[in-house]
Amino acid sequence: MRCLLGRAGPASRAGGGAVTDIAKKRYAQLGQQLQYDQLGTVRRQAEGWRNGLAGLTGLVGVVFVLKGRESVAGMPGGWRWVTALLLVLAFVLLLAGSLGAVRAANGQVGQRVWLTGDRLLSGILDEVERTQDALSTARRLSVAGLCAIVAAIAVSWLVPVETSASPGSSGPYVLVNTTGGVRCGELVLADPEAVTISTAGKKRWVRIPAADVRSVTPAARC
Amino acid sequence: MPDHVATEFREHEAEVRPDEPFTVTRSEDGRWYTVKGYCPTCRVDTVFRVSYGVLGPPKRLWGRGRRAPEPLTGDIPVYCQCGYPHAERPPESPDTGCGAFWDVPVPPPEPGAAP
Ligand SMILES: [Zn+2]
Ligand SMILES: [Zn+2]
């Protein structure tokens, strides 16, 4: 196309009568060329958009992974549901958006048309319209999905954590995984030789030699 | 019907003869125009099509259904696509005519026709 525009034809010679404006003809030729190329043009455009949307989605996903709360465990129940719903919504929207963008860039599978010249022309015009529709829908869905993800991040940042270390009856218990089974109790002492826990209502202290201890995990109750 | 005149290929702007005006018809769905008439230079009938293409802005937001683009106004620059061989046509030229081009005014859409 560019060479078409760039080439100054032999028409620089002055014609009889009207002044020759060769650019007018070049653009007319370019227009005719675009009529044949427009589906490819739209597909390339859609490909660019698809890549851009995918990049954007990935970026926000990374932010979510890096900056979001590690789990929803500490959140009050209602907010936990809100976050989960937002994430599910975001997933659905982003999935639909990605599929729409892929559809726009690559066409619908299984669409056929009679390949006569006229049908092909209207088929191409139809497909151009459908591609642009699919692309703009995909764009909206992706933006909505990204907003949902960002809202989920915001919720996870702003909602206060339920105070996990609540004093009182539910003391800080530990689960001690030993070679001889799992013991549970309140942690009394941990030194290089052994882990000491109190079991059965602080009445008995159990000393577990460090050689037997496989792991120690905090627990809310035994 | 005039016979084809084997002029030398030359890209030049031609004047439309007033006695042989061009017809400009819009397709039923309004998405392309067909320009028909006799090339002012090589005197043979030539057909030129202009369709509504990708550079147009999207017009609707959520509605469905086939969009009929707004009618074209002004002139359609048309170039000869007579298909006859013309001497001196460069082999790399995309032209299939005598090289002549001219403007065809689009008639205003008659009321009651396709929007
Ligand atoms: Zn000719
Ligand atoms: Zn001609």
Q: Are residues A177 and A151 in the same domain?
A: no
Q: Does A25 touch chain B (CB under 8 A)?
A: yes
**Among candidates A19, A31, A34 on the partner chain, residue whose Cβ is nearest the Cβ of B13:** A19
Q: Are residues A138 and A177 in the same domain?
A: no
Minimal CA separation from A38 to chain B, in Å: 6
**SS3 state at A91:** helix
Q: Do B54 and A136 touch (CB under 8 A)?
A: no
Q: Are residues A215 and A139 in the same domain?
A: no
User: Each residue of B45-54: pLDDT tens digit?
Assistant: 888 988 887 6
Total tally of structural domains belonging to chain A: 2
Residue at A15 is within a domain: no
Q: Are residues A143 and A78 in the same domain?
A: yes
Residue at A26 is within a domain: no
Q: Residue window 31-50, chain A: list those with CB within 8 Å of chain B.
A: 31, 33-35, 38, 41-42, 45
Q: Please answer whether residues B52 and B89 qualify as being in contact, where contact means their C-beta atoms are separated by less than 8 angstroms.
A: no
pLDDT (0 to 100) of residue B67: 64
Instruction: Tell me, in angstroms, the distance from the centre of ligand 2 to residue A116's CA.
Output: 26
Q: Which residues of A touch B31 (CB under 8 A)?
A: 122, 125
Does B21 have pLDDT greater than 90?
A: no
Closest Cα in chain A to B15: A18
Minimal CA separation from A10 to chain B, in Å: 7
Minimal CA separation from A153 to chain B, in Å: 30
As separate numbers, helices (DSSP H) first and strands (DSSP E) second, chain A gives 4, 5
Q: Tell me the residue length of chain A.
A: 222
Range with the poorest average pLDDT among A155-159, B12-16, B22-26, B97-101: A155-159
Does B9 have pLDDT greater than 80?
A: yes
- Alpha-carbon distance A37 to A53, whole Å? 24
Q: Please answer whether residues B48 and B76 qualify as being in contact, where contact means their C-beta atoms are separated by less than 8 angstroms.
A: yes
Q: Are residues A71 and A114 in the same domain?
A: yes
Residue at A2 is within a domain: no
pLDDT (0 to 100) of residue A106: 86
Instruction: Tell me, in angstroms, the distance from the centre of ligand 2 to residue B81's CA.
Output: 7
Q: Are residues A122 and A206 in the same domain?
A: no
What ipTM describes this predicted complex?
0.77
Enclosing domain of residue A214: 173-219
Adjacent-strand bridge partners of B77: B103
Q: Are residues A145 and A179 in the same domain?
A: no
**What is the rounded average pLDDT of the residues B100-111?**
84
Q: Are residues A179 and A154 in the same domain?
A: no
What is the mean pLDDT for each group of 10 consecutive residues in chain A (222 residues)? 41 49 88 86 88 86 70 73 88 91 85 80 85 90 90 81 51 78 81 80 77 80 70
pLDDT (0 to 100) of residue A1: 39
Sign of torsion over alpha carbons B8, B13, B19, B23:
positive
Residue at A27 is within a domain: no
Q: Which chain B residues have any C-beta within 8 angstroms of a chain A C-beta?
A: 10-15, 29, 31-32, 49-55, 58, 66-67, 77-79, 88, 90, 93-95, 99, 101
**What is the rounded average pLDDT of the residues B97-107?**
90
Report the side by side order of strands in the sheet with B23-26.
B23-26, B32-38, B45-51
Instruction: Tell me, in angstroms, the distance from the centre of ligand 2 to residue B9's CA.
Output: 9
Instruction: Tell me, in angstroms, the distance from the centre of ligand 1 to residue B4's CA.
Output: 6
What is the residue extent of each domain of chain B? 1-115
Residue at A8 is within a domain: no
Q: Are residues A198 and A109 in the same domain?
A: no
Can you give the CATH number for the domain in which A190 is found? 2.30.30.100
Q: Which residues of A touch B101 (CB under 8 A)?
A: 24-25, 28
Q: Which tokens in the block code for residue A80?
A: 């936990």
Q: Which tokens in the block code for residue B90?
A: 């460069």
Q: Are residues A41 and A125 in the same domain?
A: yes
User: Each residue of B39-76: pLDDT tens digit?
Assistant: 999 988 888 988 887 665 455 544 555 567 788 888 89
DSSP code per residue over A97-161: HHHHHHHHHH--TT-----SHHHHHHHHHHHHHHHHHHHHHHHHHHHHHHHHHHHHHHHHHHSPP
pLDDT (0 to 100) of residue A15: 41
Q: Which tokens in the block code for residue B61?
A: 């937001």
Q: What single letter denotes the amino acid at residue A27?
A: Y
Whole-angstrom Cα Rg for chain A:
34
Between the alpha carbon of residue A57 and those of residues A89, A90, A144, A153, A154, the distances in Å are: 14, 10, 11, 14, 16
Q: Does A2 touch chain B (CB under 8 A)?
A: no
**Among candidates A4, A18, A45 on the partner chain, residue whose Cβ is nearest the Cβ of B13:** A18
Adjacent-strand bridge partners of B79: B101
The one-character DSSP state at B31 is: S
**Among candidates A17, A24, A33 on the partner chain, residue whose Cβ is nearest the Cβ of B101:** A24
- Alpha-carbon distance B12 to B98, whole Å? 9
Does B111 have pLDDT greater than 70?
A: no
Q: What single letter denotes the amino acid at residue A152?
A: A
Q: Do A24 and B13 touch (CB under 8 A)?
A: yes
**SS3 state at B72:** coil
**Among candidates B51, B66, B101 on the partner chain, residue whose Cβ is nearest the Cβ of A25:** B101
Which phi and psi (to 5°) does residue A175 adopt?
A: -100, 120
Q: Do A28 and B31 touch (CB under 8 A)?
A: no
Minimal CA separation from B110 to chain A, in Å: 23
Q: Do A13 and B12 touch (CB under 8 A)?
A: yes
